[in-house]
Amino acid sequence: MKELKPTDREYLLSKIRDVKDFPKPGIVFKDITTLLNDREAFSFLMDHLEQRYREYDLDFIAGIDSRGFIFGSALSDRLGVGFVPIRKAGKLPYTTIAEKYALEYGFDEVEIHIDAFRGKEDAKVLLIDDLIATGGTAVAAANLINKAGAKCVEACMVLNLTFLEGREKLEKITPLYSVLDIS
């Protein structure tokens, strides 16, 4: 089950709630909390991801703050590999390296511990998060993994908002697997 069948995609999509006009008018927010609190749907998604990534021989999974922590830690446990958090600036307690990325008005920054991959040269890392939109955070996170001496072998996003074209930016750095594409 490396790729989901259309009926499986529809099943998972049916478990995600649309919230209109959040966080501002005109936006339809994809609320994954309804997928997370559905034991069967969450288990189905994690079974799929486990089967997909079992043969990748990963060393670590890196999750983007904060929802990437949910999927990443669950998957790292299933695959028996370490989990590495990628957080907003100032949230990690030890020495970090950082990567800035552009926002519509200004910049933001994500960080990773300098020893996140425990000195393992060319560690194979999967980057995971709940969603890719414009791609800024995901691109910065993939760059951080590579700057830390590891290799981001793929990024996995539960949702890809195709109309925002983040996929195109991220795929210049690493392949992307999106479970669900939203147009």
Domain made up of 56-182: CATH architecture: 3-Layer(aba) Sandwich (3.40)
Amino acid at site 63:
G
Dist. CA 36–CA 55, nearest whole Å: 25
Classify residue 121 as exposed, middle or buried by CB count within 10 Å of its CB (0-12, 13-18, 19+): exposed
Please say if 111 is a catalytic residue. Answer: no
Options 39, 40, 55, 104, the catalytic residue = 104
Q: Where are the beta strands (DSSP E) in 37-163?
A: 60-64, 82-88, 96-103, 106-113, 124-132, 151-161
Check residue 1 and give its pLDDT: 55
Options 67, 78, 165, 171, the catalytic residue = 67
Please say if 67 is a catalytic residue. Answer: yes
Q: Which residues of the chain have pLDDT under 70?
A: 1
